[in-house]
Chains A and B, each alone.
Chain A
Amino acid sequence: MTLSQTAFGVVTVFIIFFTIIYLVKKGKLREEYSWMWLLTGLILLIVVLRFDFLVYISRLIGAVSPTNTLFVFGIIFLIFLCLHFAIKISLLTYEVKNLAQKVSLLEAEYEQGKPTGIGHPELT
């Protein structure tokens, strides 16, 4: 890896770090999700500073070149990221559904009272 490539990689990683911390500070990104991005940045930093580590991993998994290793791990990371967000969306869907049902039930009770004898107008 040339010096200019390393410098470019380090600057990119630091931009990622600062952006994440800025977003957390502004309340636009929850701490809950920020750790994942910070970890990604850290892994990128290791790869940039210790390129031989990437070469070693490439040999280990049988990749032709370190670039392939980066792409493979990048895609695996994105798949897990999508899965993580699909789980979060599912949870939020349940929560929104339960909340909306609760609001509907409370609103109906507030406006119409208890339902006893509704089917029988003469009983009300």
Chain B
Amino acid sequence: MKKCIIIPAFNEGKNIATVIEGIRKHTDADIIVINDGSRDNTATQAKKAGAYVISHPFNMRYGVALQTGYKFALKNGYDLLLQMDGDGQHLPSSIPIFFDMLEKGECDVLVGSRFLGLGGYHPGILKTIGIGLFKVIIRIMNGERITDPTSGYQCMNRKVFSIFTDDSFPCDYPDTNVIIRLHRMGFIVKELPVNMQPNPEGRSMHRGAFKIIYYFFTMSLSIFITMISDRDYLRDKGARS
């Protein structure tokens, strides 16, 4: 099976080479860095480390960078895609397990969870409350237990990432809403215990009161839209992919 790893990166010049070298020790999959309009030497460092680099002409944020990766993977005929952060938060030792489970067809999407017993980094109080809330929403809507709905460490098959290439993909914040949507489309979503580290520079997508409020509002709206979407239509779309 043709496999790739996509890494969205914005100003990760300091970490990206180490991340790529770490991945190399665990897999022979193609490593694709999506340089999201970085102002530092992220692209040069990633190329030097041997990754294939796709550079956005300007910063379009995390979700768009991910989608560029999905479009790339679809265009180049990949069967499996793993996405991970470029700051070293996601430890690469789990990569072979991710690919192995997807190759066996045990699920369509595998989400790396930091809350399933491997320990390591735990987020702050506000984020923990948010994650808890979205866990409950997923439990109510999908009837399944997802412990880390905001995890960006995920692996998926071609059926799934081909769906993510259209404009219905929520580029603002693709996490809980995507999991709910995938479930309604009839895909099997499972979790894998992984170890995560905090961002070395303490950076986060959800920093500052305004960003957190905006995140909760956008996510709630997106979940509501998914809720009122026609379940049969979504299921058909999933089956056609």
Contacts and interface: CB of A to CB of B under 8 A. Distances in A.
A97 B50 contact: no
B171 A97 contact: yes
Contacts of B64: 97, 101
A104 B32 CA distance: 13
Contact of A119 (B31, B53, B55, B75): B31
A103 B23 CA distance: 27
A42 to B, nearest CB: 36
A103 B24 contact: no
B142 interface: no
Contacts of B32: 115, 118
Given A114-B76, A119-B5, A104 B55 contact: yes
Contacts of B234: none
Given A108-B54, A112-B52, A115-B52, A101 B68 contact: yes
Interface string A56-82: 000000000000000000000000000
A3 interface: no
A119 B171 contact: no
A119 B30 contact: yes
A100 interface: yes
A105 interface: yes
A1 to B, nearest CB: 47
A112 B53 contact: yes
B50 A121 contact: yes
Contacts of B54: 104-105, 107-108
Nearest to A91: B167
Q: Tell me the interface secondary structure of chain B in the complex.
A: mixed
Interface string B152-171: 00000000000000010001
A105 B68 contact: yes
B235 interface: no
A117 interface: yes
Nearest to A112: B52
Contacts of A116: 30
Contact of A105 (B28, B29, B72): B72
B60 A97 contact: yes
A85 interface: no
Given A97-B64, A119-B30, A105 B75 contact: yes
A64 to B, nearest CB: 38
Nearest to B27: A119
Most chain B CB atoms below 10 A, which of A104, A118, A120: A104
Interface in B52-79: 52-58, 60, 64, 67-68, 71-72, 75-76
A118 B50 contact: yes
B51 interface: yes
B57 A117 contact: no
Interface of B: 4-5, 23-24, 27-32, 50-58, 60, 64, 67-68, 71-72, 75-76, 167, 171
Interface of A: 94, 97-98, 100-101, 103-105, 107-108, 112, 114-121, 123
Given A108-B52, A115-B30, A119-B28, 9 more contacts: A98-B167, A101-B67, A101-B68, A104-B56, A105-B71, A115-B4, A115-B76, A119-B27, A119-B31
